[in-house]
């Protein structure tokens, strides 16, 4: 602690504090035009002047020293600050300081008594209004550089620069030209920090920033990806005016990405479903809720009469809240009497849940992301967080730029790879061989933790025997990664003091995805870098959907009850039965792909799909559509009439995350609150209300009338959640599970004493490498990888309805120039891609992001048909589709 005097009062500050912190500690206000708490101070605007031990200094860059005497008051200082700010303002046109100007500069001028007339420069530039979310008016720029630093230091994109000379200096895209053509990824950081309105969000959000708390704000958690950013939604006249990154958000700390920050246009899209639809004479026709609910109930009853409870199934939504997922599984288990409930974790990180449970005992990542960020070596495998989890991607990049060794294993030249110390580019589908190659080197070079292995792990001998088959040279042959790089990566990971592993779908969405997770986890175990040892930060999956962790935590799974009690375990069933007062079926239910198979075979007779566009996003989509068409009752709860809803018998209009109350669990196991900012359109209702309503129509009472009641009920039956409640979440913001007691914090780092595997030990896996389900051949010579792009989200149902469409307007196929030449395909030209399962049409993007022989596309434009290409091959342990490997051929579209 540093003790000093500020304006005569004693002040105590933590080490590293500045005189700006000191001034704030006594409640003194200083102008801070080049400063933002999210940035390292630079002291360039010279407006936060104070006197320290008799010298006039800029407070933001002057460290608080013990015994210092600081003065922030007095006419002389006030005059100096006024002069400094007036000089800055004089380069601007007068409207920059006008009374209604919302920016920090205008407010500063008002506080210092600087009249708008001080600002006297003429307007000289036309504003750049080419971008949907960022408007640039260079005339208002004071060249404070905050935007440039937000872009570089917080976002890690380096899209901005200051150009021009002297008073002409202004921000501009670093690539020159228009904003819409720049490298900007629309995180909104520049707009949020700009003190003058030079950079603003166009439209009603203009000039609204996260700088000061506002009365018209609703605090919630982002409903796009699993990062779990805390957002403050500004509501005007019943609509969203802006969404701001909360500066005290535990994960995002004042940062956000294009999705959470700007992609709310879907809310008011004319295509939103506003009333139920019931199929009549083959046509989906508007209906009242009573009619729709009666139709659903009749369909469910008919299915049960024909085939018993197991003729009914539900796909619950990882987009929906915990409480909604809890109710869905409770309804299926108690109201219908079947375990046929699953969620899109099946398509995504089911192999993580299975693999991490087998290795360590629990289905989540082993450490918090705050831990991961402290690592001195980051091994990022099969994840593209720069595009898919941008806030985490930025934090990882910044850790790397601050000196952590970064190893990226991804076949493509993804964003993080460009900053990596080592980029390993395995052939898609060969992870297990790569991980064994790395493990081989760890063992061979003694880079393993013998004590940890002896005390806390099992399976070492078996693994070591297997590893003799995977010297780097053999791993290189299988994976295509040079043996020297495998050795170098293993050494970097093995010799680091605190390594961490972060991974994504490039590990899980494979025929042997669970083996991939387990053999990747081997590395952390061999190295003793897991379990709170202080020697590293374990292994963390970057879970995908906003609440995919939570949907599974809540038991929306065919084999597991809320809190992961197996339905086959009498004790787990008894816990649930005691709370529910009803029998829990003991046979595990159908997984998503099995539901479709069962429907095609005529056994599954009613399927309720909540918030998952299976016809667009599940693999081999022709077969999915056939399943829906074969199923006598398909109910779809949706925001939009997507591909799946078009096959439904009843469509129920749903509220989205900005319209409802509840909680989500993010990728590092934190429960966080979700709160409604606006009302759902028309008669759309929350999934929570709808599940209750359907249950009631079927004569079942699910109890828990409110979301808060649902979480407390879940807390009573799942020991890991026993300490959670809305009161606590409202008080503490984010609480990680396991959280067995209301009186103790949740555990963000797992297994500090023992692993949860039953024997208390981490289990190494000796699974051998097995080839993927499809390999290129003469007919289908290319290997297609599918994944994500930054501007769109999964089916694109939400991000395609709004400004993001201007940022990325079509589905593109990335291919290497050699393949383009070989197939006669030109950059920007339409291509037809064919696999053994179907056909897609995309636009070619020729470049070197993909290796020769490999092509890549996303699946954000369902009309392109990308998932008609993907195969029915799936992870042998969990049925997670092999989205990452499909053999294809291509030709220019005629
Ligand atoms: N903008 C945006 N963000 C999203 C989403 C979105 O659709 N758009 N979706 C959300 C969801 S649901 C999820 S699950 C997450 C997914 O987030 P990620 O897991 O990061 O997503 P992907 O792009 O599918 O795949 C990651 C990487 O795996 C690589 N890969 C493919 N095959 C292999 C292999 O065999 N080995 C290795 N080592 N790598 C391989 C691919 O090249 C790709 O770069 O993103 C979430 N965030
Ligand atoms: N080729 C290929 N396909 C993939 C993948 C891949 O990498 N490659 N990744 C897979 C992965 S990881 C995932 S998670 C899936 C995601 O696939 P989906 O879950 O199908 O995708 P989303 O677009 O996230 O959303 C599902 C639907 O929910 C609706 N929705 C949003 N919020 C709510 C809500 O609160 N309530 C209700 N009722 N509906 C809501 C949206 O309008 C949308 O249509 O895609 C998978 N598909
Ligand atoms: Mo996902």
DSSP state of 121: P
C-alpha 351 – ligand 1 centre gap (Å):
14
Is the per-residue pLDDT at 120 higher than 90?
no
Closest CA to 596 of 623, 556, 620, 571: 623
Q: Which ligand is nearest to the CA of 674?
A: 2
Is the per-residue pLDDT at 216 higher than 90?
no
pLDDT in tens, 509-532: 999 999 999 999 999 999 999 999
H or E segment and range at residue 313: strand 312-316
Residues in a beta bridge with 835? 888
pTM of the model: 0.96
Output Rg (C-alpha) for the chain, integer angstroms. Answer: 28
Q: Do domains 2-89 and 277-348+565-736 have the same CATH topology?
A: no
Q: Is 416 in the pocket of ligand 1 (CB under 6 A)?
A: no
Q: Is 225 in the pocket of ligand 1 (CB under 6 A)?
A: yes
Q: Is 720 in the pocket of ligand 1 (CB under 6 A)?
A: no
* Interatomic CA distance for residues 830 and 847, integer angstroms: 15
Say which CATH topology domain 782-892 has: Barwin-like endoglucanases (2.40.40)
Which whole number is the average pLDDT over 697-724? 97
Return the minimum-mean-pLDDT range out of 39-43, 212-216, 495-499, 815-819: 212-216
Question: Could you give the C-alpha distances from 621 to 17, 224, 625, 872, in angstroms and in order?
Answer: 57, 23, 6, 9
**The predicted structure's pLDDT at residue 690:** 98
Our mutation pick for probing the ligand 1 site, out of 412, 505, 545, 848, counting the most ligand atoms within 8 A of Cβ, is: 505
Our mutation pick for probing the ligand 1 site, out of 515, 787, 793, 870, counting the most ligand atoms within 8 A of Cβ, is: 787
**The predicted structure's pLDDT at residue 100:** 79
**The predicted structure's pLDDT at residue 166:** 82
Residue 123: pLDDT band by 50, 70, 90 thresholds? Answer: confident
What does residue 844 show for φ and ψ, rounded to 5 degrees?
Answer: -70, 135
Which whole number is the average pLDDT over 792-809? 96
Q: Across all residues in the chain, what is the average pLDDT?
A: 96
Say which CATH topology domain 350-541 has: Dimethylsulfoxide Reductase; domain 2 (3.40.228)
Which whole number is the average pLDDT over 708-726? 97
> How far is C-alpha 353 from the chain's CA centre?
17
Q: Is 344 in the pocket of ligand 1 (CB under 6 A)?
A: no
What are the structure tokens assigned to 762, written together? Answer: 């981490």
Residue 452: pLDDT band by 50, 70, 90 thresholds? Answer: very high
Looking from the CA of residue 545, the nearest atom of ligand 2 is 14
Which carries the bigger pLDDT value, residue 416 or residue 116? Answer: 416
User: Counting Cβ atoms within 10 Å, is residue 312 exposed (0-12), middle (13-18) or buried (19+)?
Assistant: buried
**The predicted structure's pLDDT at residue 99:** 79
For atom 14 of ligand 1, the residue with the nearest CA is 544
Which whole number is the average pLDDT over 160-164? 95
C-alpha 789 – ligand 1 centre gap (Å):
9
Which whole number is the average pLDDT over 809-828? 97
**The predicted structure's pLDDT at residue 523:** 98
**The predicted structure's pLDDT at residue 773:** 97
Q: Is 503 in the pocket of ligand 1 (CB under 6 A)?
A: no
Our mutation pick for probing the ligand 2 site, out of 383, 612, 644, counting the most ligand atoms within 8 A of Cβ, is: 612
**The predicted structure's pLDDT at residue 238:** 94
- The percent of residues above 90 in pLDDT, for the chain, comes to 96
For atom 2 of ligand 1, the residue with the nearest CA is 388
What are the structure tokens assigned to 791, written together? Answer: 């501007």
H or E segment and range at residue 324: helix 322-330
φ/ψ bin of 27: left (φ > 0), alpha (ψ from -120 to 50), beta (otherwise): left
Looking from the CA of residue 788, the nearest atom of ligand 1 is 23
Closest CA to 494 of 486, 506, 504, 503: 486
Is the per-residue pLDDT at 396 higher than 80?
yes
**The predicted structure's pLDDT at residue 66:** 95
What does residue 892 show for φ and ψ, rounded to 5 degrees?
Answer: -60, 140
Residue 117: pLDDT band by 50, 70, 90 thresholds? Answer: confident
State the architecture of 2-89 in CATH terms: Roll (3.10)
pLDDT in tens, 780-798: 999 999 999 999 999 999 9
- The percent of residues above 70 in pLDDT, for the chain, comes to 100
**Count H helices, E strands: the chain?**
30, 35
What does residue 188 show for φ and ψ, rounded to 5 degrees?
Answer: 85, 5
pLDDT in tens, 607-622: 999 999 999 999 999 9
**The predicted structure's pLDDT at residue 753:** 94
Which whole number is the average pLDDT over 175-187? 96
Our mutation pick for probing the ligand 1 site, out of 391, 408, 506, counting the most ligand atoms within 8 A of Cβ, is: 506
Domain boundaries defined on the chain = 2-89, 277-348+565-736, 350-541, 782-892
**The predicted structure's pLDDT at residue 168:** 85
Is the per-residue pLDDT at 606 higher than 80?
yes
Q: Is 433 in the pocket of ligand 2 (CB under 6 A)?
A: no
Give the burial string for 611-631 (b: 16+ CB within 10 Å, else e): bbbbbbbbbbbebbbebbebb
The number of CA neighbours under 13 Å toward the Cβ of 855 is 35
Which whole number is the average pLDDT over 665-673? 96
Is the per-residue pLDDT at 274 higher than 90?
yes
* Interatomic CA distance for residues 401 and 454, integer angstroms: 36
Q: At which residue do the structure tokens 């999210």 appear?
A: 38
Q: Is 859 in the pocket of ligand 1 (CB under 6 A)?
A: no
Q: Is 882 in the pocket of ligand 1 (CB under 6 A)?
A: no
pLDDT in tens, 756-771: 999 999 999 999 999 9
pLDDT in tens, 64-105: 999 999 999 999 999 999 999 999 999 999 888 887 787 899
**The predicted structure's pLDDT at residue 450:** 97
Residue 214: pLDDT band by 50, 70, 90 thresholds? Answer: confident
H or E segment and range at residue 695: helix 687-697
Q: Kindly report the CATH number that applies to the domain delimited by 277-348+565-736.
A: 3.40.50.740
**The predicted structure's pLDDT at residue 212:** 76
């Amino acid at each position: 602690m540093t003790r000093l005097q500020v304006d005569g009062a004693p002040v105590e500050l933590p080490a590293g504090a500045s005189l700006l912190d000191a001034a704030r500690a006594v409640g003194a206000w200083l102008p801070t035009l080049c400063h933002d708490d999210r940035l390292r101070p630079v002291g360039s605007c010279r407006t936060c002047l104070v006197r320290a031990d008799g010298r006039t200094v800029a407070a933001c860059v002057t460290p608080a020293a013990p015994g210092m005497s600081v003065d922030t008051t007095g006419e002389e200082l006030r005059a100096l600050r006024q002069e400094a700010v007036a000089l800055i303002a004089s380069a601007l046109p007068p409207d920059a300081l006008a009374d209604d100007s919302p920016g920090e500069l205008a407010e500063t001028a008002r506080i210092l008594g600087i009249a708008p007339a001080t600002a006297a420069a003429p307007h000289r530039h036309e504003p750049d209004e080419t971008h949907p979310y960022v408007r640039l008016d260079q005339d208002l720029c004071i060249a404070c550089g905050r935007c440039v630093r937000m872009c570089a230091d917080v976002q890690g994109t380096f899209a901005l620069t200051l150009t021009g000379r002297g008073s002409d200096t202004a921000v501009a895209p670093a690539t020159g030209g228009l904003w819409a053509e720049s490298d900007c990824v629309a995180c909104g950081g520049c707009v949020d920090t700009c003190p003058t309105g030079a950079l603003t969000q166009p439209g009603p959000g203009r000039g609204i920033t996260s700088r000061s708390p506002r009365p018209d704000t609703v605090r919630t958690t982002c409903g796009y990806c699993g990062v779990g950013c805390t957002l403050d939604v500004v509501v005007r006249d019943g609509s969203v005016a802006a969404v701001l990154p909360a500066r005290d958000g535990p994960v995002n700390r004042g940062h956000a990405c294009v999705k959470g920050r700007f992609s709310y246009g879907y809310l008011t899209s004319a295509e939103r479903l506003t009333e139920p639809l019931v199929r009549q004479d083959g046509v989906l026709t508007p209906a009242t809720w009573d009619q729709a609910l009666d139709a659903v109930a009749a369909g469910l009853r008919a299915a049960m009469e024909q085939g018993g409870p197991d003729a009914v199934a539900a796909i619950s939504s990882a987009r929906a809240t915990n409480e909604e997922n809890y109710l869905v599984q409770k309804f299926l288990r108690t109201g219908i009497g079947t375990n046929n409930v699953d969620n899109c974790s099946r398509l995504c990180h089911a192999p993580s849940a299975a693999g991490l449970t087998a290795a360590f005992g629990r289905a989540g990542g082993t450490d918090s992301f705050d831990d991961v960020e402290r690592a001195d070596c980051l091994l990022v495998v099969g994840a593209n967080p720069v595009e898919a989890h941008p806030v985490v991607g930025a934090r990882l990049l910044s850790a790397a730029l601050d000196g952590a060794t970064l190893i990226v294993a991804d076949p493509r030249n993804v964003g993080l790879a460009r900053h990596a110390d080592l980029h390993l580019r395995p052939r898609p589908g060969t992870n297990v061989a790569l991980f064994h190659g790395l493990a081989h080197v760890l063992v061979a070079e003694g880079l393993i933790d013998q004590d940890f292995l002896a005390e806390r792990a099992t399976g070492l001998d078996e693994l070591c025997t297997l590893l003799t088959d995977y010297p780097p040279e053999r791993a290189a042959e299988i994976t295509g990664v040079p043996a020297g790089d495998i050795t170098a990566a293993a050494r970097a990971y093995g010799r680091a003091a605190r390594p961490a592993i972060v991974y994504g779908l490039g590990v899980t969405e494979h025929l042997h995805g669970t083996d991939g997770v387990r053999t990747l986890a081997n590395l952390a175990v061999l190295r003793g870098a897991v379990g709170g040892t202080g020697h590293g930060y374990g292994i963390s999956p970057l879970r995908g959907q906003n609440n995919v962790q939570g949907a599974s935590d809540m038991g929306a799974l065919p084999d597991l009850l809320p809190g992961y009690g197996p339905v086959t375990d009498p004790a787990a069933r008894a816990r649930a039965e005691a709370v529910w007062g009803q029998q829990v079926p003991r046979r595990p239910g159908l997984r998503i792909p099995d539901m479709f198979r069962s429907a095609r075979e005529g056994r599954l007779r009613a399927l309720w799909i909540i918030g998952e566009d299976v016809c667009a996003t599940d693999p081999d989509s022709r077969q999915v559509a056939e399943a829906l068409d074969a199923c006598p009752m398909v109910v779809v709860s949706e925001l939009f009439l997507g591909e799946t809803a078009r096959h439904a018998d009843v469509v129920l209009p749903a509220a989205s995350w900005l319209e409802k109350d509840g909680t989500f669990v993010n990728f590092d196991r934190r429960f966080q609150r979700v709160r409604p900012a606006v009302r759902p359109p028309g008669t759309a209702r929350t999934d929570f209300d709808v599940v209750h309503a359907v249950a009631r129509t079927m004569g079942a009472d699910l109890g828990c009338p409110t979301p808060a009641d649902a979480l407390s009920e879940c807390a009573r039956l799942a020991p890991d959640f026993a300490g959670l409640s809305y009161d606590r979440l409202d008080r503490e913001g984010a609480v990680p599970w396991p959280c067995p007691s209301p009186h103790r914090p949740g555990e963000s780092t797992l297994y500090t004493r023992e692993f949860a595997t039953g024997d208390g030990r981490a289990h190494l896996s000796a699974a051998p490498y097995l080839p993927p389900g499809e390999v290129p051949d003469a007919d289908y010579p290319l290997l297609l990888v599918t994944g994500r792009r930054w501007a769109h989200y999964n089916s694109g149902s939400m991000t395609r309805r709004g400004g993001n469409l201007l940022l990325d307007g079509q589905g593109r196929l990335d291919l290497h120039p050699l393949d383009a030449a070989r197939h006669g395909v030109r950059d920007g030209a339409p291509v037809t891609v064919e696999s053994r399962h179907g056909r897609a049409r995309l636009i070619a993007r020729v470049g070197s992001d993909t290796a020769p022989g490999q092509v890549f596309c996303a699946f954000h434009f369902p009309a392109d048909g990308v998932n008609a290409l993907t195969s029915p091959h799936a992870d042998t342990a969990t049925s997670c589709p092999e989205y990452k490997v499909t053999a294809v051929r291509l030709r220019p579209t005629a």
